[in-house]
Amino acid sequence: MEVKIGIQYAPRELVVETESSAEDVERALKNAMADGGVLVLSDVKGGKVLVPAEKIGYLQLGGSEPRRVGFSNV
């Protein structure tokens, strides 16, 4: 699943590919916001992305549909 994170005062959004479900990401965001901590997401390559909760402007959860390759309009 693709997660886009808008960070305050950053000109570009952060894009993370994760195997976590939308519910898991939303729960992690709520927990980080509640205690003023850090949002931690694991990416598909085994790395971790850490973002201070107070710096998050928005979080967009994408679908879990695989990316399409090619020029087909199907």
Classify residue 3 by burial, with Cβ atoms within 10 Å: 0-12, 13-18, 19+.
buried
Sign of torsion over alpha carbons 57, 44, 17, 29: negative
With bands split at pLDDT 50, 70 and 90, how would you rate the model's confidence at 72?
Answer: low
- pTM, two decimals, is 0.78
Q: What is the tens place of the pLDDT at every residue in 20-48?
A: 999 999 999 999 999 889 999 999 999 99
CA-to-CA distance for 50 and 40, rounded, in angstroms? 5
Domains defined along the chain, listed by start? 2-61 (2.30.30)
Mean pLDDT of the chain, nearest integer: 89
Residue-level pLDDT at 67: 60
CA 38 to chain centre: 13
Residue 18 is encoded by which pair of tokens?
């994760």
